[in-house]
Chain A
């Protein structure tokens, strides 16, 4: 029976997966992908069906766990933000080499405009790199439908399928018409063919030949995909539009269909070459509208004949960076944006800040106090709420690059003689990607001071469970940090004398020290209090 639900793009994917007989979702939280897994965690039906949905330690473990579930014959899904694809890449690319058994769908949520990210990388390049089918929804309805389609496609082609979202779809709500699927999860016999699953060179070469040989077939099925279609009159137009994802929405918002532009919507990759060739041949100009990097545009340049001019981000018709919007796309279609009121000049930005009462605040106050007497000190920080320590009033950190880079960069800098080299990393980021770097530092007896600012949660993304809670001292000791140099403090103003003394002692110690300031996140604390009221 069909019903209407108000869903975020993320939630539409989650429900699509549940209705397709999902057995497990594997993920590490990351904006804008977090709500997919959270939706499944909150679903009573999923819980009753025993669907796996606890958080993984990082995107790579998530990807491999999902591959294992696929191997065993069930449908599994992996969700992450775009930069998570970098962490999962080894497993992701090689899952294309092994192929899959139960349907395996990887959801990558890109963040053009970097609302909550450090770069604008476009996950579609990963799909092409791994040579697997890819889907890109424009609407919440498509996000729902494509997810079920993606599982079928994955099982039919025996390949993982990448589903690409962008922030504006992931975090936008719309009414979605849904059709509850089977009551039970899909179960195939477990895989047992070592020649595809043991990627020794001899096997891998065969798999590579196979994967390469199906590329034309995959492009052909994209041509006939229900998500590839043309609107508007194809013949006689001098400019045609090729659009995908949220880009297509902005094209339609500007009335492209009514004003006579033919529009080829791309919903499935590898690109439908045949369809694009025919479409381009009927137009003098083709404008390519896609959110992210000029992924389609570059390929259309190669596919279209020399008689067609390809316009888009590379020709300056659309902005090269940042997310598209109805106005930037309207402009490319010859419409000037309308504006009646200008933004007053006195409006000042209101940057995000650490919450009042947050333990990270006390950590930075203490660090700044101590490091004032070490002018050469550098603080290598990491990804999380505490990255906001870069802003006033703290201005306390010197770097933030990728998950885990605090410890390893501090180590490299210490190797080069920089002193004091301090790393600041959150609890969840530490278990995600900090532990292995700490082992490097221990093995080299590097002169670094690591601060694991533990707020007992993955706070930045909204307070998900943190994999290492209650285990940090044990982890550090097991990795070989000297027991005398694993120090725990409570980051409160009243403890400032003790905290600064501990930091000073550990900076003075020539070797690896770990200081763990531990106090619960204010947000999760107040949520708990509200619950018990």
Chain B
């Protein structure tokens, strides 16, 4: 069994933290994993993508082949669409619905339409949820919670253990906020 995910977003939105948590959970669940990311120039408000491959057998390529991703998990709606060529036929798009407008002429209506016509798409306004629940820095964990029901190769408990482990050095309060964010996203789907 394998599970390929494309994580997408804009530099600074915290997609690499999501990647770190899923990767950590996968290793602890005894799975093979490859997680490719690009550092450097793209961090400065540019498009950021990380390919995450989980499997119970050997994984050779660090990069996903086209049409192979079971999920596109995105912190930003237009960024979710950018990687559609990687989505498998029955793959899910799980995305924040809040546009990140740092470019002129952001095609907001077109993005909405292009998302709506996909067969399996879950849009969730994680930014508003995070703000309303006083957890402005945990929008990414709400998104991970929303994705957790679909990442069948890992249990939500695996992911929560990793949240506790990864955020552990930042203190108990931050761990609790992020776990709460995760549960909130999980309950939304």
A contact set with B: CB distance below 8 Å: 4, 6, 31-32, 34-35, 115-116, 167-169, 171-175, 246, 249-250, 252-253, 325-327, 330, 337-344, 346-355, 385, 388, 460-462
**A-B CB contact pairs (8 Å), 15 listed:** A172-B35, A175-B33, A249-B61, A253-B61, A326-B61, A327-B65, A339-B67, A339-B85, A340-B87, A340-B89, A341-B85, A341-B87, A352-B11, A352-B41, A352-B42
Distance in angstroms between the alpha carbons of A338 and B82 in the assembled complex: 17
Taking A32-B40, A173-B35 as contacts, is the C-beta distance between A350 and B103 under 8 angstroms?
A: yes
Q: Which residues of A contact B84 (CB under 8 A)?
A: 341-344
Q: Which residues of B contact A116 (CB under 8 A)?
A: 38-42
Select from chain B the residue with minimum beta-carbon distance to A388.
Answer: B44
| B60, A249: Cβ atoms closer than 8 Å | yes
Interface size class of B (residues with CB under 8 A): 35 or more
| A342, B107: Cβ atoms closer than 8 Å | no
Q: Which residues of A contact B66 (CB under 8 A)?
A: 327, 337-339
A-B contact count (CB 8 A): 149
Q: Which residues of A contact B45 (CB under 8 A)?
A: 350, 352-353, 355
Distance in angstroms between the alpha carbons of A2 and B68 in the assembled complex: 33
Distance in angstroms between the alpha carbons of A342 and B60 in the assembled complex: 25
Q: Which of B24, B39, B106 has the most CB of A within 10 A?
A: B39
User: Is B88 at the interface (CB under 8 A from chain A)?
Assistant: yes
User: Is B114 at the interface (CB under 8 A from chain A)?
Assistant: yes
B177 to chain A, nearest CB (A): 14
Q: Which residues of B contact A172 (CB under 8 A)?
A: 34-37, 62
Interface membership of chain B positions 1-43, coded 1 if the CB is closer than 8 angstroms to chain A and 0 otherwise: 0000000001100000000000110010000111111111111
Q: Which residues of B contact A460 (CB under 8 A)?
A: 40-41
User: Is B81 at the interface (CB under 8 A from chain A)?
Assistant: yes
Q: Which residues of B contact A169 (CB under 8 A)?
A: 62
Distance in angstroms between the alpha carbons of A173 and B35 in the assembled complex: 5
| A171, B36: Cβ atoms closer than 8 Å | yes
Q: A32-B40, A338-B65, A342-B85 are in contact. List 19 more A-B contacts (CB 8 A).
A: A32-B39, A115-B40, A116-B39, A168-B36, A172-B35, A174-B32, A174-B35, A174-B62, A250-B61, A253-B65, A326-B63, A341-B85, A344-B114, A347-B82, A348-B103, A350-B102, A350-B103, A353-B102, A462-B43
Distance in angstroms between the alpha carbons of A250 and B34 in the assembled complex: 13
Task: Say what secondary structure dominates the interface of chain A.
Answer: loop
Q: Which residues of A contact B152 (CB under 8 A)?
A: none
Select from chain B the residue with minimum beta-carbon distance to A4.
Answer: B27
- B residues 115-129 near A (Cβ < 8 Å) are 118
| A6, B41: Cβ atoms closer than 8 Å | no
Q: Which of B27, B61, B89, B107 has the most CB of A within 10 A?
A: B61
| B27, A6: Cβ atoms closer than 8 Å | yes
User: Is B71 at the interface (CB under 8 A from chain A)?
Assistant: no
Q: Which residues of A contact B105 (CB under 8 A)?
A: 348
| A326, B110: Cβ atoms closer than 8 Å | no
B contact set with A: CB distance below 8 Å: 10-11, 23-24, 27, 32-47, 59-68, 78-79, 81-85, 87-89, 91, 102-103, 105-107, 110-111, 114, 118
B82 to chain A, nearest CB (A): 5
Select from chain B the residue with minimum beta-carbon distance to A6.
Answer: B27
Distance in angstroms between the alpha carbons of A349 and B42 in the assembled complex: 12
| A252, B60: Cβ atoms closer than 8 Å | yes
Q: Which residues of B contact A253 (CB under 8 A)?
A: 60-61, 65
Q: A115's contact among B34, B42, B114, by CB below 8 Å, is which?
A: B42
A107 to chain B, nearest CB (A): 16
A524 to chain B, nearest CB (A): 13
B67 to chain A, nearest CB (A): 4
| A350, B40: Cβ atoms closer than 8 Å | no
Taking A31-B41, A346-B110, A349-B47 as contacts, is the C-beta distance between A6 and B87 under 8 angstroms?
A: no
Q: B65's contact among A6, A330, A341, by CB below 8 Å, is which?
A: A330
Q: A173's contact among B23, B41, B46, B107, by CB below 8 Å, is which?
A: B23
Distance in angstroms between the alpha carbons of A350 and B110 in the assembled complex: 16
A78 to chain B, nearest CB (A): 20
Distance in angstroms between the alpha carbons of A32 and B102 in the assembled complex: 26
| A353, B46: Cβ atoms closer than 8 Å | yes
Q: Which residues of A contact B110 (CB under 8 A)?
A: 344, 346
Q: Which residues of A contact B62 (CB under 8 A)?
A: 168-169, 172, 174, 246, 249
B142 to chain A, nearest CB (A): 21
Closest 7 CB pairs of A and B: A116-B40, A352-B46, A31-B40, A346-B110, A338-B67, A253-B61, A172-B62
Select from chain B the residue with minimum beta-carbon distance to A329.
Answer: B61
B174 to chain A, nearest CB (A): 11
B120 to chain A, nearest CB (A): 11
Q: Which residues of B contact A325 (CB under 8 A)?
A: 61, 63, 65
| B44, A354: Cβ atoms closer than 8 Å | yes
| A353, B44: Cβ atoms closer than 8 Å | yes
Distance in angstroms between the alpha carbons of A376 and B11 in the assembled complex: 36
Q: Which residues of B contact A167 (CB under 8 A)?
A: 38
Distance in angstroms between the alpha carbons of A353 and B45 in the assembled complex: 6
Distance in angstroms between the alpha carbons of A31 and B24 in the assembled complex: 24
| B38, A350: Cβ atoms closer than 8 Å | no
A59 to chain B, nearest CB (A): 17
Q: Which residues of B contact A115 (CB under 8 A)?
A: 38, 40-42
| A250, B33: Cβ atoms closer than 8 Å | no
